[in-house]
């Protein structure tokens, strides 16, 4: 019987996103009947496409589908189709990672506790050798707060699961509520047309919107103005959903007490951006999913997905 080929090209500038020998060994253990071909360069990837039955990769160009006559499916750890667009002909199936929430929710929690526990002030006091117990008098607890997750998909639900364990009350916002039923983690799930009603009562607003034309500037100056005075904004989705100048205005002169930002419209965030110098902003470099467990989680998820697709 003809052995079928799995082409693997998972290399990235971020070491946690690059495949390791243990991952390749795990794949061979799970599927001893297939031929695993690892490539380390784009040229090697292109050369291997004509003989590939399946592809495991970070990126793929639309034109390459025509170079892959045997290809049945493209698998990628990425949560969205930014780097692996669908096959225009519909012949090849695409499968995206669903595991990110387990890591990203800890990044979100860290940001929330950073603001709630006033950690920036404590770090500043430590640097100045100042013992000031009064600096914690303004702290808040998650169990007394409301969290609004805008873009309540798979990652948002995993975030809600963790935050609910701390006692936070969760409201999810999504395009439609079909199939949401009685959500186990959110008090309620509403549609986008209800967003402005929910903003004034939320202590934390989490943006988990995907990229693309449909979400560009979706969160407007009007939405910022509707937010609760003293509330916090977090963006771990995509940076195109609001304009930076509207966010800066809300942080300087509007209702926001602070913002935790992992994604930006332009990345890397330019040194000229005023966000760098705002004391009530916490910036991470599109790193909310970076963890040494990243590919371990993905490979186990991929194995189960692949079993169901062969």
Rg of the Cα atoms in the chain? 22
Q: Which of 44, 67, 266, 267 is catalytic?
A: 267
What is the mean predicted confidence (pLDDT) over 239-254? Answer: 97
What's the chain's average pLDDT?
A: 96
E-strand ranges in the chain read 5-9, 35-38, 54-57, 73-76, 93-96, 146-150, 169-174, 188-191, 204-207, 231-235, 256-261, 281-283
Give the pair of three-digit tokens for residue 234: 């977090």
Please answer whether residues 149 and 160 qualify as being in contact, where contact means their C-beta atoms are separated by less than 8 angstroms: yes
Candidate list 102, 174, 223, 238, residue with the active-site label: 238
Residues 238, 286: Cα–Cα separation, whole Å: 9
Distance CA 259, CA 268 (A): 18
- Using the structure block, give the residue that is written with the tokens 């070491």: 15
The answer to whether the beta carbons of residues 37 and 6 sit under 8 Å apart is: yes
3-state class (DSSP) for residue 284: coil
| Strand bridging mode 204-207 / 188-191 | unpaired
* Cis-peptide into 107, omega within 30 deg: no
Give every strand in the sheet of 93-96, ordered side by side: 35-38, 5-9, 54-57, 73-76, 93-96
Residue 131's CB is within 10 A of a number of other CB atoms, namely 7
In angstroms, the CA 106 to CA 4 distance is: 39
Beta strand 231-235 pairing with 5-9: unpaired
**SS3 for 117?**
coil
pLDDT band, residue 82 (cuts 50/70/90): confident
Q: Find the catalytic residue in 188, 286, 300, 301.
A: 286
> What's the pLDDT tens digit per position in 262-296?
999 999 999 999 999 999 999 999 999 999 999 99
The mean per-residue pLDDT over the stretch 183-193 comes to 96
In the residue annotation, 238 being an active-site residue is answered as yes
Judged against a pLDDT cut of 60, whether residue 117 lies above it is answered with yes
Q: Hey, how many other C-beta atoms are within 10 angstroms of the C-beta on 117?
A: 15
- Domain residue ranges in the chain: 5-96+292-308, 100-279
Residue 47: closest CA among 39, 55, 57: 39
Asked if the model's pLDDT at residue 178 lies above 90, the reply is no
Question: Does 286 qualify as catalytic in the annotation?
Answer: yes
177 pLDDT band (50/70/90 cuts)? confident
Classify 6 as helix, strand or coil.
strand
Q: Which residues contact 126 (CB under 8 A, 6 or more apart)?
A: none
Fold of 100-279: Rossmann fold (3.40.50)
Question: What phi and psi values does residue 170 have, to the nearest 5 degrees?
Answer: -110, 135
CATH superfamily of 5-96+292-308: NAD(P)-binding Rossmann-like Domain (3.40.50.720)
pLDDT band at residue 195 under the 50/70/90 scheme = very high
Q: What pLDDT, on the 0 to 100 scale, is given for residue 275? A: 98
With left for phi above 0 and alpha for psi between -120 and 50, is residue 171 left, alpha or beta?
beta
């Amino acid at each position: 019987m003809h052995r079928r080929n799995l082409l693997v090209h998972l290399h990235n500038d971020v070491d946690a996103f690059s495949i390791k020998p243990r991952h390749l060994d795990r794949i061979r253990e799970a599927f001893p009947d297939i031929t695993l071909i690892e490539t380390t360069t784009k040229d090697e990837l292109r050369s291997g496409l004509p003989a590939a039955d399946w592809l495991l990769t970070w990126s793929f160009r639309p034109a390459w589908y025509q170079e892959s006559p045997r290809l049945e499916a493209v698998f990628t750890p990425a949560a969205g189709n930014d780097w692996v667009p669908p096959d225009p002909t519909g012949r090849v199936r695409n499968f995206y990672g669903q595991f990110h929430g387990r890591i990203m929710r800890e990044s979100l929690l860290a940001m929330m506790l950073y603001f709630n526990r006033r950690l920036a002030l404590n770090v500043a006091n430590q640097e100045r050798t100042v013992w000031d117990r009064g600096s914690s008098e303004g702290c808040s607890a998650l169990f007394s707060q409301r969290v609004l997750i805008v873009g309540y998909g798979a990652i948002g639900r995993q975030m809600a699961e963790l935050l609910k364990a701390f006692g936070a009350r969760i409201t999810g916002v999504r395009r439609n509520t079909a199939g949401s039923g009685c959500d186990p983690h959110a008090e309620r799930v509403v549609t986008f047309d209800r967003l402005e009603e929910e903003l004034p009562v939320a202590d934390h607003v989490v943006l988990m919107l995907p990229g693309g034309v449909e979400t560009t500037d979706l969160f407007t100056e009007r939405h910022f103005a509707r937010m609760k005075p003293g509330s916090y904004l977090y963006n771990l989705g995509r940076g195109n959903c609001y304009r930076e100048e509207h966010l800066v205005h809300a942080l300087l002169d509007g209702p926001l007490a602070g913002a935790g930002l992992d994604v930006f419209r332009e990345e890397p965030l330019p040194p000229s951006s005023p966000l760098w110098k705002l004391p009530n902003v916490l910036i991470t470099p599109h790193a909310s999913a970076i963890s040494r467990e990243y590919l371990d989680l993905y490979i186990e998820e991929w194995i189960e997905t692949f079993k169901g697709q062969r």
